[in-house]
Amino acid sequence: MIQNVTRVTTKNPAEKLARKRLTVLQLAEQLGNVSEACRRGGLDRTSFYEARKRLTVLQLAEQLGNVSEACRRGGLDRTSFYEWKRRFQTHGLDGLKDMPPIVRDHPLTTPPEVVEKLIDLALSNPMWGCVR
């Protein structure tokens, strides 16, 4: 029977997922079976392999002392490596997970106040049309 498997008790879903990934990584090493570790940890295998690849390349670069060689061996470009390293240093284990893209407003969007005034003008003067 396997012991030393930590139970994840956090309310932050991102932190919970990152800890779950690390726990599944540890469990997979102990079991020697990725499918069983993912099933027990409630994580899909794709996420497991992505997290393991990132963590492995970061550790390999630290061991070798050569980022280029670690990236070559791990199949990761150096730009991505430095991005994962920065995210790992700033966010900890949270940084190893894929984050959703940041949705930003378009820079040329008309401000809501102006849109409101235009709608009021158009409704109060329906005969003006779109040219005025």
Q: What is d(CA 132, CA 92) in angstroms, rounded to the nearest whole number?
A: 56
DSSP character for 95?
Answer: G
Q: Identify the pLDDT of residue 15.
A: 57
Q: Which residues contact 8 (CB under 8 A, 6 or more apart)?
A: 16, 19, 20, 23
The two three-digit tokens of residue 23, written as one number = 């726990």
Q: Identify the pLDDT of residue 50.
A: 80
Identify the segments of the chain with pLDDT beneath 50. 1-8, 10
Q: Identify the pLDDT of residue 4.
A: 44
Angle between helix 67-74 and 45-64 (nearest 10): 150
Q: Identify the pLDDT of residue 69.
A: 92
Q: Identify the pLDDT of residue 117.
A: 92
Query: Which SS3 state, helix, strand or coil, does residue 32 take?
Result: coil
Other beta carbons within 10 Å of 103: 5
Residue pair 45/33 in contact by the 8 Å Cβ criterion: no
